[in-house]
A and B are shown apart, each in its own frame.
Chain A
Amino acid sequence: MKNRGRRVRRAGRATVVGGVAGAMALMGCFDSALLLNPSFVNTVEGGLFPFVPGAANEMILIRSVNTTNQSLLFVVTIERARLLAEGSGSVNESETIEVFTGPGDLANEAGVLFDCTGDNPINRIGLGENLNRPDTEPGLFVGGVGDITQGFGVPPNINPLSRENGDFACGDTVIFEAFISANAPGGFKVRAFVLPHEGQPERTRRDTFTVAAEFLRDRPSEE
């Protein structure tokens, strides 16, 4: 009886060890993406698909992530400096787009690529049309269905990110995540993340954002 018990335990241990070793072999010695869903592999290991546009593409990706159970419309504003006539300085020009996200999985996130070049960089990024009023200007519309029906507005209550302060750089990915918070005005809160391009793998299996940048910029000339 005792021997049987020992044999069972040994067999169980061997099974577990063998299974772990097999999995490790799959991940390490073989191309895990061949057997496993590449999306899963990219989440765990990275290196298959890029998360950031990268400095070479001179773009910035702004992602809006909705982790609530409501439809949310993110009011994303970027600010650039436009040079005036010689010697007259520059003026800040803002550009606002509305990004709609549903409550369902996968459909709860949308991002937009913006040009961010050395000559025309983005200086500030935030939620709400007026970046100087993050505590009063609505940065989210809850329960809205795009332009057809708008729900109630909620201020983001986070300061806009500033390139000059080092919050982000061209080539990075900026993420705004909205979540339910009982203590926040309106019941929703936003937090910001930045994925710096420096920390990302230099090469990935697919060069998504390079392909996108080349396509968008390959406009025929006047001639």
Chain B
Amino acid sequence: MIARKSAKARSHRRHGLPAALAAGASICILSACGDALNPAFLDILGPGIVAPRGPGSAGHVVVALRNDTIFDDRILQHLISAGLDEEIVTASGVRPRMRMTFLITFVNGNTMQVQFDDGSSDIVHPLASQATQADLARPEQNNVVVQCDVARVDLIRESIQVFVPDFFETTRIDPGDENTPPFRVRVTVDPPQFEVLQIDDVDEFGTITTLRNIDIRDAPAPAIGPNCGSVVTILVSGTLSLPFEISSGGNDVPGVLNTNGVALAASPGRFQINVGIR
């Protein structure tokens, strides 16, 4: 009896194990395990046998930027007077070019940096250099889709930039002498370029001491622990505006007197950044 049982048991084991292996392999092949097999081996089997699903995903978090900023009309008119095609300026959807960098931190500590560029790339002074054009040539990207799970999304404050599309002149007043009345002298001319937006300077009571580009209450905050499947939204609004000053040539151009620190600090405009999770 015991001997028969042993033989029977051995027989079961002998037939059972390979059958189980074959069944397991079949199930594995037909299901998601197709991704684990060597593609060359899959090619031998033929496309009808296995259809890899592709890299699986647990879910996604989307980080999306919407640029709702506008141009001050005075800048656009000045660009048209400088020779920019009016059709470009009056086209729908014209908005200042923004760029900013995000740091995405995942729950396992790994990080990813992504730069977003969004806005019009053809609103620029006609005499801008080739280097400036190259800076604007980077294609627009206003969203990124990453895997779950994300620990936080930070907007790197020093990376928030807006493209100033016009030349900006700083002048000073030369007092002249007994024979010459005071006159304006050009100090610097900044070409069209990206400018970093700065947050207002405040004292210990929160009172603004220097008005810059972003109110401290409108400054970007990190998005902490977005759930899998959620969307981290970054909404940028505001107006790109420049002070105008009489140039050394007597024209009204974007610029400041070198003594006008207030106007210089507030350039190039006022913006708000709102970070949310939906």
B144:A112 contact, CB within 8 angstroms: yes
Is A73 among interface residues, defined by CB-CB distance under 8 A?
A: no
Neighbour of B59 across the interface among A39, A65, A191, A211, CB < 8 A: A39
Question: Which of chain B's residues have a CB closer than 8 A to the CB of A208?
Answer: 59-62, 229-231
Report B100-134 CB contacts with A as 1/0, cut-off 8 Å. Answer: 00001011101111110000000000000000000
Given A39-B228, A112-B143: A146 in contact with B113 (beta carbons within 8 A): yes
Is A209 among interface residues, defined by CB-CB distance under 8 A?
A: yes
Q: How far is B35's CA from A177's CA once the two chains are assembled, in angstroms?
A: 11
Neighbour of B228 across the interface among A49, A61, A102, CB < 8 A: A49
Report B161-180 CB contacts with A as 1/0, cut-off 8 Å. Answer: 00000000000000000000
Q: Would you list which residues of chain B between 66 and 110 have a CB under 8 Å from chain A?
A: 66, 68, 92-93, 104, 106-108, 110
Question: Which of chain B's residues have a CB closer than 8 A to the CB of A67?
Answer: 55
* A63 to B, closest residue via Cβ: B145
Is B54 among interface residues, defined by CB-CB distance under 8 A?
A: yes
Is A143 among interface residues, defined by CB-CB distance under 8 A?
A: no
A40:B278 contact, CB within 8 angstroms: no
Is A215 among interface residues, defined by CB-CB distance under 8 A?
A: yes
Of B56, B92, B144, B231, chain A has the most CB atoms within 10 Å of the CB of B231
Please name the 6 residue pairs, one residue from A and one from B, whose CB atoms are nearest each other, closest first: A193-B54, A206-B229, A49-B59, A39-B58, A111-B145, A107-B110
User: Can you give 9 contacting A-B residue pairs, CB < 8 Å?
Assistant: A48-B59, A63-B57, A100-B112, A106-B108, A109-B55, A111-B145, A195-B53, A204-B229, A206-B227
Binding site for A on B (CB under 8 A): 39, 52-62, 64, 66, 68, 92-93, 104, 106-108, 110-115, 139, 141-149, 227-231, 233, 278
